[in-house]
């Protein structure tokens, strides 16, 4: 039996640019549609398999070896802290982690945030950031609509992902501090990288060249 290369793909906004990239590097994409309900796509001639995952699940699939490679945002990698090899910065899916607060806090600095309440979908990353700054905050984990937290009074500020900043503005929030930038990454399972090196390394090199050439942005 031929050995398949399995790639975990992030569903949602990352899928379109990922498929553009795959087409550019010669990976099969026929029938892989963002609207499709299929969760596994198998290409027997190319011995390639795709698993369609929620972005936050991609590091799990890759760490455990259910997928050899994965396409996922740096934001997710940082939050989950899984042991995967981070092979290529694919440059698309740009966003940044920021601390944001109500307009009245415009101009306030980090030191003004000590002992404040911080609402976020990314508690690990937020906690680590504030601790590394020598600050103590109360982290309030929310699962969505984090922008509501300061408006409703359950938190003083938020830590969230921002791409254009439009959502912040709509909710009268201002960006106070940028924590880090995030783009999409190609990650690899630690063992698969070695046991399937003949397949993975050439693919990585092709993708690196293609990304440098500006395709997939």
Partner 1 sequence: MRNKEVPGGTRDLLPDEVAVKRQMENKAGNLFRSYGYEEVITPTFEFLEVVETGTGGSIREELFLFMDREGGILSLRPEMTVSIARLAATHLQDAGFPQRLFYMTNVFRHVQPHLAQYREFWQIGIELLGAAGVYADAEVISIAINTLREIGLENFKVSLNHIGIVNGLLDSSGLSADEKEHMRHLIEEKDLVELSALLEKAAIDEGLKEALASLPVLHGGLEVLERLPELGKNATASQAAQDLMKVYDLLKISGLSDHVVVDMGVLRGLDYYTGMVFEGYSPDLGYGLLGGGRYDNLMGKFGLPLPATGFAMGMDRLALVLKQRETEPERLLVGGRNYSAVTAKSNELRGHGFIVETDVEGLSKAELEQKITANPTRTLIYVD
Binding site for partner 1 (CB under 8 A): 63-66, 74, 85-89, 185, 188-197, 201, 204
Q: Is the dihedral of CA 72, 75, 77, 79 positive or negative?
A: negative
Contacts of 18 (CB under 8 A, 6+ apart): 9, 10, 71, 90, 184, 216
| 3-class state of residue 163 by DSSP | coil
Euclidean distance between the first and final Cα of the chain, in Å? 36
Q: How far apart are CA 127 and CA 119, in angstroms?
A: 11
User: DSSP assignment, residue 68?
Assistant: S
Q: What minimum distance in Å lies between the beta carbon of 58 and partner 1?
A: 14
Task: Report the chain's C-alpha Rg in angstroms.
Answer: 19
Q: What minimum distance in Å lies between the beta carbon of 48 and partner 1?
A: 17
Q: How far apart are CA 46 and CA 4, in angstroms?
A: 8
Q: What minimum distance in Å lies between the beta carbon of 145 and partner 1?
A: 29
Residue closer to partner 1 (CB basis): 57 or 156: 57
Residue closer to partner 1 (CB basis): 157 or 203: 203
Residue closer to partner 1 (CB basis): 100 or 186: 186
164 φ, ψ to 5°? -100, -25
Residue closer to partner 1 (CB basis): 138 or 205: 205
User: DSSP assignment, residue 4?
Assistant: P
Q: What minimum distance in Å lies between the beta carbon of 199 and partner 1?
A: 12
Q: What minimum distance in Å lies between the beta carbon of 33 and partner 1?
A: 29
Residue closer to partner 1 (CB basis): 33 or 89: 89
């Amino acid at each position: 039996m031929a050995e398949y290369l399995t790639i975990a793909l992030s569903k949602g906004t990352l899928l379109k640019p990922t498929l553009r990239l795959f087409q550019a590097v010669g990976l099969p994409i026929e029938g892989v549609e963002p609207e499709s309900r299929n969760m596994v796509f198998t290409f027997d001639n190319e011995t390639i398999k795709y698993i369609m995952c929620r972005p936050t699940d991609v590091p799990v699939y890759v760490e455990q070896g259910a997928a050899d490679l994965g396409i996922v945002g740096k934001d997710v990698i940082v939050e989950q802290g899984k042991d995967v090899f981070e092979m290529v910065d694919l440059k698309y899916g740009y966003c940044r982690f920021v601390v944001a607060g109500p307009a009245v806090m415009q101009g306030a600095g980090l030191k003004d945030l000590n002992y404040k309440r911080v609402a976020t979908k990314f508690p690990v990353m937020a906690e680590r950031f504030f601790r590394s700054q020598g600050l103590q905050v109360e982290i309030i984990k929310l699962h969505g609509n984090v922008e509501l937290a300061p408006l409703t009074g359950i938190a003083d500020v938020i830590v969230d992902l921002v791409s254009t900043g439009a959502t912040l503005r709509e909710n009268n929030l201002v960006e106070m501090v940028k924590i880090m930038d995030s783009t999409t990454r190609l990650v690899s399972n630690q063992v698969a990288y070695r046991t399937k090196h003949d397949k993975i390394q050439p693919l990585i090199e092709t993708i690196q060249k293609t990304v440098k050439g500006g395709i997939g942005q």
